[in-house]
Structure formats: structure tokens, C-alpha cells
């Protein structure tokens, strides 16, 4: 891969970001996307010990729900695979048990959201359980996916070529993603994804910019987008190193 590449953020929030990467091959872009989905380890509940469950649901169903609760993942090096963190929950009806009711034994591993409903408990029903969270990868179970809704599109370059003939009804020209307009990046949501709104009465050309990809990345709350992308790149690097060492005699 060429060493020269360039990253520019279009939108940036903690859990949701859109950024442009220029100068990478489609293969590398897809590698990053796949690594974000499947290769970045995150914490998730893996075993649950039920002390009391008089709710209307089976233990196994509740265990699955608890497993799908996103947990914050500690910084690299704090944990290794097979380390466990215990979380406990004790809710008595009438009430709804939420992910926020989970009490963790480690400050670094907490439910990422407080408001994920687990089960609605009626009068006299009670849920008391203890759960072990482990570090694992999206490859092994979807509950360990740090990146949800991860994808990329080519950056598209727009140029107005000529005016449309007078009185001609303009056709809608739907584009999604981010366009480049004289070097400026414009998300298509700014003009309702319709180029005829931005260039009324003009004929426009649209072309993919080679080796420029606009990533849209959303995390489940385990960590920030920056953290997800850098960890994904690190996993690619470590696997590449592993391969390099394996083929050397």
C-alpha cells in the first residue's frame, strides 16, 4: 500500500462519524470495514447465573438479552481475552429492569446506555442474577461487534457542464453520500440528496473519485469512533505481522 494517504472528517460525534480517506485501495477500505465489524474485541456478557427469576421469561431468553447489552470496553492493555468482569442485577416488580440496573464490579466496564429495557416485571416478580462479561470479537458472536452500521462509498465529484434548455422540466438526480464540489466536501443531506436542488437548470456530471472513500461509522457505545477505527487498523497490522512471521523461514 502506498504510504501517502489523507483523512478528513465530514461529521464527527462520539458514536457516529463520517470521514473521507484518500489514497487507499478499495481492498484496504474494505479490510478496514471488515475489521471494524469482526475483529475489534469488545466486552459483552457471556455467562449469567440466575439466583431468582420469577419473571414471565425463561432464563435463556433473559441471558440472551443481557448478552446483547453494549458495555464500555476498557483501553487496550487493561484486559486480555479470558478476563472476566462481574455485573449483577437485582430488580423487584412492579418495575422494568433496565441495563442501567446492572451494577459492575469494574468502573471501566459499564453499560454503555442506561435505558436498554431488559424485562418488564409485574407485582411480586423478581429478577436477581449475576453475569460475567468477557472480551471477544465480532467474529465469534454479534454481541461483540463494536461497530454497527459501518460502510463506505466513493467520494463523488460533481461538475456543472451546461445549462439546461429553457422551459425544460428538470429531472431529479438522487445521490447519497458526500460530494466534492470545487474541492469542498458537501454531504448530500444538505440538499435533500437531490442534485437538481443544488444545480437548478443545469446539466451536471457525476463521477467517482478514484481511491477516495467516505466512511460512515457508528459504534454501539463500547468506545468512540476514533478508538474503533484505530483498533481496527491495529488488528489488521497485527495479523499482517503474524502472516509475515509465518512465511519467513
Partner 1 sequence: MSYKCSRCKRDVQLDEYGGVRCPYCGHRVLLKERSRDVKEVDVN
Residue of the chain from 17, 21, 43, 45 that contacts partner 1 (CB under 8 A): 45
H or E segment and range at residue 236: helix 225-247
Closest distance to partner 1 from the beta carbon of 48 (Å): 5
CA gap 109, 70 in Å, rounded: 10
Q: Cβ closer to partner 1: 63 or 102?
A: 63
By CB under 8 A, the residues from 106 to 165 that bind partner 1 are: 141, 143
Closest distance to partner 1 from the beta carbon of 50 (Å): 5
Residue of the chain from 16, 59, 101, 226 that contacts partner 1 (CB under 8 A): 59
CA gap 165, 115 in Å, rounded: 56
CB 164 within 8 A of CB 203: yes
Binding mask 64-103 for partner 1 (x = CB under 8 A): x-xx------------------------------------
Closest distance to partner 1 from the beta carbon of 131 (Å): 8
Q: Could you tell me which of 78, 105, 123 has the C-alpha nearest to residue 223?
A: 78
Residue 220 makes contact with partner 1 by CB under 8 A: no
Q: Cβ closer to partner 1: 55 or 235?
A: 55
The SS3 assignment for 17 reads strand
* CA dist list (Å): 131 to 46, 81, 197: 7, 17, 53
Count of residues near partner 1 by CB under 8 A = 18
Burial class (CB in 10 A: 0-12, 13-18, 19+), 15: middle
Residue of the chain from 29, 35, 36, 63 that contacts partner 1 (CB under 8 A): 63
Backbone angles phi, psi at 126, to 5 degrees: -145, 145
Closest distance to partner 1 from the beta carbon of 72 (Å): 18
Closest distance to partner 1 from the beta carbon of 218 (Å): 23
CB 30 within 8 A of CB 215: no
Closest distance to partner 1 from the beta carbon of 232 (Å): 24
Question: To which residue does cell 446506555 refer?
Answer: 113
Residues in the site for partner 1, rule: CB under 8 A? 44-51, 53-54, 59-60, 63-64, 66-67, 141, 143
Amino acid at each position: 500500500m502506498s504510504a501517502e494517504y489523507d483523512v478528513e472528517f465530514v461529521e464527527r460525534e462520539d458514536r457516529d462519524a463520517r470521514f473521507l480517506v484518500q489514497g487507499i485501495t478499495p481492498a484496504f477500505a474494505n479490510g478496514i470495514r471488515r475489521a471494524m465489524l469482526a475483529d475489534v474485541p469488545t466486552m459483552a456478557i457471556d455467562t449469567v447465573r440466575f439466583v431468582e427469576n420469577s419473571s414471565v421469561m425463561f432464563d435463556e431468553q433473559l441471558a440472551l438479552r443481557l448478552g446483547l447489552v453494549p458495555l464500555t470496553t476498557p483501553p487496550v492493555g487493561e484486559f486480555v481475552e479470558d478476563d472476566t468482569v462481574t455485573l449483577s442485577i437485582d430488580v423487584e416488580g412492579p418495575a422494568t429492569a433496565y441495563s442501567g440496573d446492572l451494577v459492575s464490579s469494574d468502573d471501566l466496564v459499564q453499560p454503555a446506555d442506561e435505558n436498554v429495557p431488559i424485562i418488564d416485571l409485574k407485582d411480586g416478580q423478581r429478577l436477581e442474577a449475576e453475569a460475567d462479561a468477557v472480551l471477544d470479537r465480532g467474529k465469534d458472536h454479534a454481541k461483540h461487534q463494536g461497530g454497527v452500521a459501518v460502510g463506505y462509498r466513493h467520494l463523488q465529484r460533481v461538475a456543472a457542464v451546461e445549462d439546461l434548455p429553457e422551459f425544460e422540466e428538470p429531472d431529479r438526480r438522487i445521490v447519497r453520500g458526500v460530494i466534492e464540489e470545487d474541492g469542498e466536501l458537501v454531504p448530500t443531506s444538505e440538499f435533500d440528496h437531490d442534485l437538481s436542488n443544488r444545480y437548478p437548470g443545469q446539466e451536471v456530471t457525476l463521477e467517482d473519485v478514484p481511491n477516495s472513500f467516505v466512511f460512515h461509522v457508528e459504534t454501539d457505545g463500547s468506545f468512540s469512533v476514533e478508538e474503533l477505527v484505530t483498533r481496527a487498523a491495529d488488528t489488521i497490522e497485527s495479523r499482517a505481522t503474524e502472516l509475515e512471521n509465518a512465511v519467513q523461514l
